[in-house]
Structure 1
Amino acid sequence: MSSSTVKTIQDTLKAWKSLVFPTFKVNDLLYFFLKAGLAVSTFALVSLFFYLSLSHPSFNSSSGYDYKTFKHLVQQRTIADASAGAEPTNVSHILFGIGGSAQTWNTRRHYTELWWKPNVTRGYVWLESEPPEKENWPETSLPYKVSANTSSFKYTCWYGSRSAIRIARIVKESFELGLDNVRWFVMGDDDTVFFTDNLVTVLAKYDHNQMYYIGGNSESVEQNVIHSYTMAYGGGGFAISYPLAAELVKILDGCIDRYSHFYGSDQRIQGCISEIGVQVTEEPGFHQVDIRGSPYGLLAGHPVAPLVSLHHLDYVEPIFPNMTREDSVKKLVITYKTDPGRILQQSYCYDLRRNWSVSVSWGYSVQLYPSLMTAKKLETAFRTFQTWRTWSNDPFTFNTRPMSENPCERPLVFFLDRVESVDGGETRGSYVRYVDVSQKECDREEYVPALAVQYVNVSASHFLSDLWKKAPRRQCCEVINGGDGVDSAVYVKIRSCQASESLTPP
C-alpha cells in the first residue's frame, strides 16, 4: 500500500473518529479495526467449522473420515445449495440405492435391467456379501456394493428379518459415498421396476434444496394399519432429498436401535425421518402392489398421475394375459418408452350413435361398454384382486367395484397388441379383443354390434411432460368412426380436453 493511500485512510479515520471515537488516536483506531476484522474472520471460520461438524457427519473425527472425504462432501453440499434455479432436475441428479441379495440377484435382476441404463443412471445394488459371480458381474446390471456389517444393531421383531437393518442403512452408505451433484436418493428393491422418465418428472416438481420424503402407501388397508399410513413403502420406492439425507444420516444408526421392534427397513426410515419432523409427500404413481390375483383393475384404473414404479410383480398374475410375468413387464416397459408420460393414462368418450362408452388405459387396455356409463363408474377400478395379507376382497386405499359375473354387465376388454410412433409426434396403437373362454358372452341384441368389434385403434399426440406441471386433468377422446353399422374395428383419438368439455351423458 502506498504512503499516499495510507495518509488518505489516516485522514479519513481522523475526521470520522473525532465524531464517533473522540478519545481514540488515529493509529489506535486503525489497529482497532484490524483487530476487529481478524476477530470477525476467526469467528466466521469457527462457526463454519461447527456448522459443518453438525450438518455433515463425515466431518466428525470419530467417523474416521480423512480431509479429502470431508472436502468432497462439503463441495457436494455447496453444489446442492447453489443449484437452485440452475438446470432442471434430470436422471443424473438421482442416486439409486437398491436393496438386494447376493443369493437371489440372478433370479431377480431382469426387473432392474428393464429400467437401468448403464452410463446414464447412477446407483448401486447393495448386497449382504460378495456375489458368486463377482468376477463376471453382468454389464447390464447395476454395479454392486457390499453393505457394512450390522450385527451390532438390535432387531427384536420376531416375524421379520435382520436384513431390514442393512437395507435401512443403504441411504446412509449411499450418502457417505460423497458422489457429486446428487439431488435425490431413491431407494427401492431388486424387484422394483422404475419408470425413470416419469420419476424425474415427479421429482422435478419439488425444490431439492428443501427436505422432502416422497413416495406412496400400500394399496391394502391392512398393510397400512399394521405398518403405517404415514410411510413411503420401500418396495414401491421412495425419494429423499439431499438436505434431508444429510440430517437423516446423523441420527440413523441410533434411530435403528430405537425402532428395533419394527418389521421393515422402510418403517425404520419413516420413524427416523419423523424425528426430524418431515412428513411423507404422497405421489400416487409409486406402486407397492400389495395385492394378490390379477393387477388388471389396478393398472386399467390408474390415477391421473405419472406411473413411477411397480413392485411385487412376482406375486400377481402376468400384466398381460397369455404371457409370462417377465415378458408382460417387458412389453409394458417397451410401450412406456414410446410415450413415457402417457403410459396407463385414462381417457373416456362416448359413441352417441351407438350409445357406447369407451375407456382407454393408454399402452395397456381398452374397455368397451354397449351403454352410456358415468365418468364416476369409469374411473373406479375393477376389483380383480384381493388384499395382500389375508387375500380378502377388501378394504383398499382406493375405490373399487366388483367385476360382475353377468356377461351383460361386463365391458368387452381389449389388450394392447402393438404401438408405434409416427411422423408428426404421434403414436398409434392397436388393441385386440380378449376372450376369456371361461366366461359366457352376452346374448342381448344390443350387444351384437359390440361383439363384432375385434380391434380398437388408438391415436394420440406425444404427451408433453410439462403437462404434469399443471393441475392434473384426464385427457379426452373421441370415437372417429361412430356409424350405425357393424364394424370389426373402432378408431379412437385421444386429445386434450377443451376448456368447457365434460363427459356428461345426454
Structure 2
Amino acid sequence: MLWWKPDTTRGFVWLDKRPKILHTDMSMPYQISHGWARFKYVHSASAVRIARIVYESFKLGLPKVRWFVMGDDDTVFFTENLVTVLGKYDHNQMYYIGASSESVEQNVMHSYNMAFGGGGFAISYALAAQLAKIMDGCLNRYFFFYGSDQRVWACVHEIGVPLTREGGFHQLDIRGNPYGFLAAHPLEPLVSLHHLDQLHPLFPNQTRIHSMKKLMSAYNIDPARIVQQSFFYDHKRRWSISISWGYTIQIYTTLLIAADLQMPLQTFKTWRSWKDGPFTFNTRPMSSDPCQQPALFFLDNVTDVGSGSVTTYKRYEGKEAKCKREDINLVKVQKINVSALKLDPEYWKNVPRRQCCKLMDGGNIKDGSMHIRIRKCRLQETITI
C-alpha cells in the first residue's frame, strides 16, 4: 500500500459484496455494506451505498473514534497531515471538513458549499451521531442527486452545519499534467490527492505508481513539508528559483515577482470541458518561448539526517524545443541539493508563513551541483526582487 499503514491506520474499505481474492494481514480491512438496495435513486445505486457508509461506520460502535473520514477508491491520503489538520478542531463539536472542486464548472454543477468526495472529507463524531439519526430518510429525499458526496452534503445541511474549508484536500478535477498545481501548492499541508489515474504521472518517464512511490519517499521523511513551496532570488545571476519540496525545482532566468511565483503554471485543463479555465484559483500560462520557460529539476533521492533532510533534484531534459540563447551558468547546473530542518506539524496551528531560502557555498556551481538551504524567514526578511 502506498499510504495505508496496517499497524497505525484505522479504517475500512467498504464493498458491495465479499471479495474473491485472498485477504492478507497487509491488506486494508473491509466491511460489506448492507441495506442500501432498498433506497430510490436516479443515477447510480452505488452513490446511495457510498453515502450510507457514514451511517454504517458510526453504527459499528468502534471505541475512541473522533472523526469519520471518507474518500474514493482512487484517493491517496497523507495521513499524518490529515491528523494535523483535524487536530485543530474539537470532534465534540459538529464539523464537516473538506474542499470544493478546482474546476468552476464542477462547483456550478454540484455546489460550491460541498466537500467533494474524491478529495475526501471528514465528519466529526458529534456530527456523525446526528447524521445517523436522519440518514435513511434523507437518502430517500435526495434520490435525484448524482453523487454520494452530494447526498451527504444535503443531509449535513439539514442539520445546519456548513462546510469548513481546508485547502489541502484535493479533488483534482483537472485534466492533463498536474505539475503546475503541485509545483505551487498553497501554503497548507497536503492532505489528499485524487484522480491520479486520470492524470499524467507526477514525474516524467515514470509510471503513476512509481511516481507516487517517489513522492511518498520524501513525504515519509518530512510529512509536514511535502510540496511546500519556497522561492528566492539569485540576484547576481538574475535568477528566480522556486522549490516544491520533495517534488520539483524551477529556475527562471529572469526575476519574477513573488505574486507570480506562487501562482501555478497552467499545465492542465478543466475536468469536464477540457478548457483553459476557469479554475477556483489564478493560473499563469506556460510561455511558448523556450527561453521564457523555467529549467526543471525533479526529485531524485531523499536522505534523512536526523532533525533534517537533504533532497536531491536532477535536471529534466525533455523533448521540447531548446532555447537558442541559453544562460551559460544555468547550463552548468545538473543537480541541486536542498537541505532543510524537518517541519514541525505544530507549524500549521499558527498563521503559516512561507519559509525562506539561501544559496550555500556562495552560490558556486561545483561539479554541476548547487546547494540550497530552506530555513525560517527572519522577522524583517522579505522575498523581494
TM over 0.5: yes
Structure 1 residue 137 and structure 2 residue 17: aligned? no
Equivalent residue in structure 1 for 2:181, among 295, 298, 301: 298
Following the alignment from structure 1 to structure 2, what is the Cα–Cα distance between the partners of residues 329 and 291?
A: 18
Equivalent residue in structure 2 for 1:396, among 279, 287, 290: 279
Following the alignment from structure 1 to structure 2, what is the Cα–Cα distance between the partners of residues 428 and 279?
A: 41
Following the alignment from structure 2 to structure 1, what is the Cα–Cα distance between the partners of residues 243 and 364?
A: 22
2:36–2:52 Cα contact (<8 Å) kept: no
Q: Which amino acid aligns with 1:426?
A: G
Number of the residue aligned with 1:443? 324
Stretch moving more, 481-490 or 243-252: 481-490
Number of the residue aligned with 2:371? 491
Aligned length: 385
| 2:14 counterpart SS class | strand
| 2:2 counterpart SS class | helix
1:353–1:484 Cα contact (<8 Å) kept: no
| 1:287 counterpart SS class | coil
1:12-58 CA-partner distances (Å, limit 9, x unpaired): xxxxxxxxxxxxxxxxxxxxxxxxxxxxxxxxxxxxxxxxxxxxxxx
Structure 1 residue 189 and structure 2 residue 189: aligned? no
More helix by share: 1
Quick one: structure 1 residues 243 and 485, their matched pair in 2 at CA, closer, same or farther if it must change by over 3 Å?
Answer: closer
Structure 1 residue 456 and structure 2 residue 339: aligned? no
Structure 1 residue 330 and structure 2 residue 213: aligned? yes
Following the alignment from structure 1 to structure 2, what is the Cα–Cα distance between the partners of residues 194 and 168?
A: 19
1:449–1:486 Cα contact (<8 Å) kept: no
1:205-243 CA-partner distances (Å, limit 9, x unpaired): 011111000001111111111111001111111100000
Following the alignment from structure 2 to structure 1, what is the Cα–Cα distance between the partners of residues 27 and 283?
A: 37
Give the deviation of 1:485 after TM superposition. Answer: 7.3
Q: How does 1:192-203 map to 2 (within 5 A)?
A: 192-203=75-86
Give the deviation of 1:119 after TM superposition. Answer: 2.8
Following the alignment from structure 1 to structure 2, what is the Cα–Cα distance between the partners of residues 245 and 320?
A: 39
Number of the residue aligned with 1:128? 16
Following the alignment from structure 2 to structure 1, what is the Cα–Cα distance between the partners of residues 216 and 311?
A: 15
1:234-281 CA-partner distances (Å, limit 9, x unpaired): 111110000000001111111111111110000000000001000010
Q: How does 1:113-192 map to 2 (within 5 A)?
A: 113-133=1-21, 136-156=22-42, 160-192=43-75
1:349–1:479 Cα contact (<8 Å) kept: no
2:174–2:268 Cα contact (<8 Å) kept: yes
TM-score (normalizing by structure 1): 0.75
Following the alignment from structure 1 to structure 2, what is the Cα–Cα distance between the partners of residues 485 and 324?
A: 32
Number of the residue aligned with 1:430? 312
Following the alignment from structure 1 to structure 2, what is the Cα–Cα distance between the partners of residues 483 and 290?
A: 39
Following the alignment from structure 2 to structure 1, what is the Cα–Cα distance between the partners of residues 37 and 73?
A: 22
Number of the residue aligned with 1:227? 110
2:117–2:149 Cα contact (<8 Å) kept: yes
| 1:329 counterpart SS class | helix
Give the deviation of 1:442 after TM superposition. Answer: 1.6
Quick one: structure 1 residues 257 and 184, their matched pair in 2 at CA, closer, same or farther if it must change by over 3 Å?
Answer: same
Number of the residue aligned with 1:70? none
Number of the residue aligned with 2:231? 348
| 1:478 counterpart SS class | strand
Structure 1 residue 503 and structure 2 residue 383: aligned? yes
Give the deviation of 1:493 after TM superposition. Answer: 0.4
- Structure 2 regions of 5+ residues with no counterpart? none
Give the deviation of 1:161 after TM superposition. Answer: 1.7
Equivalent residue in structure 2 for 1:478, among 358, 371, 374: 358
| 1:292 counterpart SS class | strand
Give the deviation of 1:487 after TM superposition. Answer: 6.7
Q: Which amino acid aligns with 1:139?
A: D
1:198–1:306 Cα contact (<8 Å) kept: yes
2:333–2:365 Cα contact (<8 Å) kept: no
Following the alignment from structure 2 to structure 1, what is the Cα–Cα distance between the partners of residues 135 and 126?
A: 14
| 1:400 counterpart SS class | coil
1:355–1:370 Cα contact (<8 Å) kept: yes
Structure 1 residue 468 and structure 2 residue 348: aligned? yes
Give the deviation of 1:325 after TM superposition. Answer: 0.5
Number of the residue aligned with 2:124? 241
1:354–1:483 Cα contact (<8 Å) kept: no
Following the alignment from structure 1 to structure 2, what is the Cα–Cα distance between the partners of residues 485 and 349?
A: 17
Give the deviation of 1:443 after TM superposition. Answer: 2.2
Number of the residue aligned with 1:251? 134
| 1:442 counterpart SS class | coil
Following the alignment from structure 2 to structure 1, what is the Cα–Cα distance between the partners of residues 324 and 367?
A: 18
| 1:350 counterpart SS class | strand
Following the alignment from structure 2 to structure 1, what is the Cα–Cα distance between the partners of residues 50 and 366?
A: 58
Give the deviation of 1:484 after TM superposition. Answer: 7.5
Following the alignment from structure 1 to structure 2, what is the Cα–Cα distance between the partners of residues 402 and 173?
A: 46
Give the deviation of 1:335 after TM superposition. Answer: 1.3
Give the deviation of 1:486 after TM superposition. Answer: 8.3
Following the alignment from structure 2 to structure 1, what is the Cα–Cα distance between the partners of residues 355 and 322?
A: 31
| 2:84 counterpart SS class | helix
Give the deviation of 1:115 after TM superposition. Answer: 1.3
Following the alignment from structure 1 to structure 2, what is the Cα–Cα distance between the partners of residues 213 and 333?
A: 27
Q: Which amino acid aligns with 2:138?
A: C
Following the alignment from structure 1 to structure 2, what is the Cα–Cα distance between the partners of residues 487 and 116?
A: 40
Following the alignment from structure 2 to structure 1, what is the Cα–Cα distance between the partners of residues 284 and 235?
A: 25
Higher relative contact order (CA 8 A, sep 6+): 2
1:62-83 CA-partner distances (Å, limit 9, x unpaired): xxxxxxxxxxxxxxxxxxxxxx
Stretch moving more, 493-502 or 479-488: 479-488
1:424-461 CA-partner distances (Å, limit 9, x unpaired): x1100110011111x2222226x221122111110000
Following the alignment from structure 2 to structure 1, what is the Cα–Cα distance between the partners of residues 364 and 331?
A: 14
1:403-426 CA-partner distances (Å, limit 9, x unpaired): 111011111010000011114x11
2:257–2:384 Cα contact (<8 Å) kept: yes
1:306–1:342 Cα contact (<8 Å) kept: yes
